[in-house]
């Protein structure tokens, strides 16, 4: 029977783990050697459409992309060779125009490496502040981070790293604290020893001292204060700093020379429940899991910086820990996870790159997302902290600056969600939602969740204003399509959330037609159909985990057609 065949194909094609990550956006660079995805930030809603937007840094170029569909809002370019876009960070609304702003680093300004930082008005792309380093080789702007509001004026302040600063040739490093309102340097923390490279990474960690002012951490991956800062030691250290006074609160040191401890930092919030924020530290040269396989250490900052757990990279020379960011609870178990970049994995010199999702409290890698092409360096940069679908869980993204190949190095950025969701194309073209599953259109995420064996009722209403029973076709895909997978249908019907089977019959059964009384096409429908309003009842539900998306083309009158809303059905 058609219904049984439909259930069998669903089970065959999509049974399995539904905790996998789903792509929401694929944003590819278009400029040769621009290396889009070198740095990533989500400053907030820059165009006022209600969706958080993205700042994608590259080589002498920053692209601001829409969170709704990944389209280009505007692009900024810098001086050739200055590496404008090497670092980016969101800053909130520093110019008080109602739109969030962001900062961009160009650490190799004027080829001498003086460096520059530009604070950009997010709404217009105009310059709010332009700051320049103090001497050649500083690499001012190598790393950037919002410090939070340090002086109580309601405007976020800025941390700027200069890992090459110090007496020329020493590269002790420096971190400058910049007043967000004026752009003035209000405090400076110099590196502790030659070749420490203080300021190569930065993060605001929250209030460690209980004084009501957020504190911060700076990575010095070349340093080793416990050994007097030996030249080129490379053990690495992390300096915890008071946001109120810039006094050093603690120095945390890595395990062994060349670990690069402190290359990447991520604030974790309070994961161990002691009332004090905690920290993740990347050490991409660590040898504990494989030679230069890398590691990430999770630290409790409530005392002396004791180790909670450690996660080890498994690919030789993979560089696990080159980037790290908190992504919240991705697998629904109530425990926090981080994404960890290993841009040189899986080894063998391909530098395809990987991102591992790591359970913080267990220190275990729960999932690995590989890069899509050799030498793309997927996982070079990471971004998170935004909720596109309103389900209370963060989405996150990763950059692959040398995609699709080393020669082109256009760069690419991919955004992921723990739960499948649809973008604006899921709304269809009709004035009302007419396709439902168990009486629901799926809410903001346009997703209906059910359990194995639960009874299902699929219903297509008659379009509003159509006085005659409506001809229709309900088509589907055994997946949750990306935000950016929309495809234009012929005859001006509109942009569907995914490709219908009748336009690509060779892709069956992953593309399928559920019901069709509109035309005769190459993809046979699974269920009998009459004109809308139409209902399909499956009293036994679907006997296996499954994931599919449905949408319909419906007659709206003589010779006119519309596109229904799309709905994801997830069976667990």
* Residues 6+ positions from 174 with CB-CB distance below 8 Å: 138, 161, 162, 165, 166, 188, 189, 190, 191, 198, 199
Q: Please, what is the Cα angle at 435 between 430 and 439, to 5 degrees?
A: 130
The mean per-residue pLDDT over the stretch 445-466 comes to: 91
CA pair distance 48, 10, nearest whole angstrom: 40
Residue 231 in this model has a pLDDT that exceeds 70: no
Q: Which two tokens stand for residue 299?
A: 């630290």
Instruction: Answer yes or no: are the C-beta atoms of 294 and 281 closer than 8 Å.
Output: no
State the Rg of the chain over Cα: 26
Using DSSP, state whether 91 is helix, strand or coil.
strand
The beta strand positions in 224-336, using DSSP E, are: 237-241, 248-253, 264-269, 278-283, 295-300, 306-312, 323-328
Count other C-beta atoms under 10 Å from residue 226's C-beta.
Answer: 12
Residue 13 in this model has a pLDDT that exceeds 90: no
For 338-356, give the DSSP string: EEEEETTTTSTT---BEEE
Of 275, 343, 248, 273, nearest to 35 (Cα)?
A: 343
Q: Which two tokens stand for residue 205?
A: 């960690």
Residue 91 in this model has a pLDDT that exceeds 70: yes
Q: Which two tokens stand for residue 333?
A: 């178990």
Instruction: Answer yes or no: are the C-beta atoms of 357 and 13 closer than 8 Å.
Output: no
CA separation, residue 184 to residues 125, 157, 177 (Å): 21, 10, 8
Residue 94 in this model has a pLDDT that exceeds 90: yes
Instruction: Answer yes or no: are the C-beta atoms of 189 and 246 closer than 8 Å.
Output: yes
DSSP state of 394: -
Of 47, 148, 162, nearest to 91 (Cα)?
A: 148
Domain 446-571 in CATH 3.30.70: no
On average, the pLDDT of the chain sits at 90
4 — pLDDT class (breaks 50, 70, 90)? very low
The mean per-residue pLDDT over the stretch 389-413 comes to: 92
Residue 317 in this model has a pLDDT that exceeds 70: yes
CA pair distance 429, 127, nearest whole angstrom: 39
Q: Do domains 31-331 and 446-571 have the same CATH topology?
A: no
Top-tier CATH class for 31-331: mainly beta
Residue 264 in this model has a pLDDT that exceeds 90: yes
Q: Which two tokens stand for residue 250?
A: 């603690």
Instruction: Answer yes or no: are the C-beta atoms of 480 and 549 closer than 8 Å.
Output: yes
Residue 228 in this model has a pLDDT that exceeds 80: no
The mean per-residue pLDDT over the stretch 403-427 comes to: 90
Q: What is the pTM of this model?
A: 0.85
In the block, tokens 């004027």 appear at: 110
pLDDT at 111: 64
Of 536, 551, 558, nearest to 470 (Cα)?
A: 558
Q: Give the β-pairing of 395-400 and 412-417.
A: antiparallel
Count H helices and E strands in the chain, helices first: 1, 39
pLDDT digits (tens, 9 = 90+) for 132-187: 998 999 999 999 999 999 999 999 999 999 999 987 778 999 999 999 999 999 99
The mean per-residue pLDDT over the stretch 326-355 comes to: 90
For 155-191, give the DSSP string: S-EEEEEETT-SSTT---BEEEEE-TTT--EEEEEE-
The mean per-residue pLDDT over the stretch 456-469 comes to: 87
Element (H, E) at 2: helix 2-14
Residue extents of the structural domains in the chain: 31-331, 446-571
Please name every residue paired with 240 in a beta bridge, in sequence order, or none if there are none.
217, 250
Percentage with pLDDT > 90 across the chain: 74
């Amino acid at each position: 029977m058609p219904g049984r065949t439909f259930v069998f194909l669903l089970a065959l094609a999509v049974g399995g783990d539904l905790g996998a990550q789903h792509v929401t956006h694929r944003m590819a660079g278009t400029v040769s050697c621009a290396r889009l995805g070198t740095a990533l930030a989500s400053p907030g809603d820059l165009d006022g459409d209600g969706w958080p937007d993205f700042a994608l840094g590259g080589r002498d170029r920053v692209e601001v992309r829409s969170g709704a569909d990944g389209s280009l809002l505007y692009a900024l370019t810098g001086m050739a060779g200055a590496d404008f876009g090497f670092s980016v960070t969101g800053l909130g609304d520093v110019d008080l125009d109602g739109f969030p702003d962001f900062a961009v680093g160009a650490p190799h300004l004027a080829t001498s490496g003086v460096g520059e930082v530009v604070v950009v008005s997010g709404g217009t792309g105009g310059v709010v502040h332009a700051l320049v380093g103090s001497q050649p080789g500083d690499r001012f702007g190598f790393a950037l981070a919002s410090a939070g509001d340090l002086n109580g004026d309601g405007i976020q302040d800025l941390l700027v790293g200069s890992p090459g600063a110090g007496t020329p040739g020493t590269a002790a490093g420096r971190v400058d604290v910049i007043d967000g309102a004026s752009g003035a340097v209000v405090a400076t923390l110099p590196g502790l020893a030659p070749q420490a490279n203080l300021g190569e990474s930065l993060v605001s960690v929250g209030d460690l001292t209980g004084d009501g002012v957020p504190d911060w951490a700076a990575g010095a991956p070349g340093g080793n204060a416990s050994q007097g800062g030996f030249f080129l030691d490379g053990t690495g250290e992390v300096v915890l700093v008071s946001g109120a006074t810039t006094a050093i609160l603690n120095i945390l040191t890595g395990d062994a020379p060349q670990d690069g401890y402190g290359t990447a930092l991520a604030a974790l919030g309070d994961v161990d429940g002691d009332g004090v924020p905690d920290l993740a530290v990347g050490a991409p040269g660590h040898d504990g899991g494989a030679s230069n396989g890398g590691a990430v250490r999770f630290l409790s900052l409530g005392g002396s910086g004791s180790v909670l757990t450690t996660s080890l990279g498994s690919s030789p020379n993979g560089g696990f820990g080159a980037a790290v960011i908190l992504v919240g609870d991705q697998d629904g178990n109530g425990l926090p996870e981080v994404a960890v970049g290993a841009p040189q994995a899986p080894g063998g010199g391909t530098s395809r790159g990987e991102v591992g999702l790591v359970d913080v409290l267990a220190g275990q890698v729960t999932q690995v997302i590989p890069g899509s092409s050799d030498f793309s360096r997927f996982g070079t940069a990471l971004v998170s902290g935004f909720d596109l679908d309103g389900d209370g869980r963060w989405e996150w993204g990763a950059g692959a600056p040398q995609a699709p190949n080393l020669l082109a190095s256009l760069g690419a950025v991919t955004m992921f969600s723990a739960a499948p969701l649809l973008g604006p194309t899921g709304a269809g073209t009709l004035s009302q939602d007419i396709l439902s599953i168990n009486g629901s259109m799926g809410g903001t995420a346009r997703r209906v969740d059910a359990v194995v064996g639960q009874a299902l009722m699929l219903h297509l209403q008659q379009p509003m204003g159509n006085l005659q029973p409506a001809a229709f076709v309900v088509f589907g895909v055994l997946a949750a399509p990306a935000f950016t997978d929309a495809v234009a249908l012929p005859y001006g019907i509109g942009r569907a959330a995914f490709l219908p089977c009748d336009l690509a019959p060779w892709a069956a059964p992953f593309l399928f037609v559920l019901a069709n009384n509109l035309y005769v096409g190459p993809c046979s429908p699974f269920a009998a159909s009459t004109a809308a309003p139409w209902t399909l009842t499956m009293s036994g539900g679907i006997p296996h985990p499954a994931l599919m998306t449905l949408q319909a083309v419906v007659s709206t009158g003589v010779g006119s057609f519309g596109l229904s809303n799309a709905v994801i059905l997830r069976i667990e």
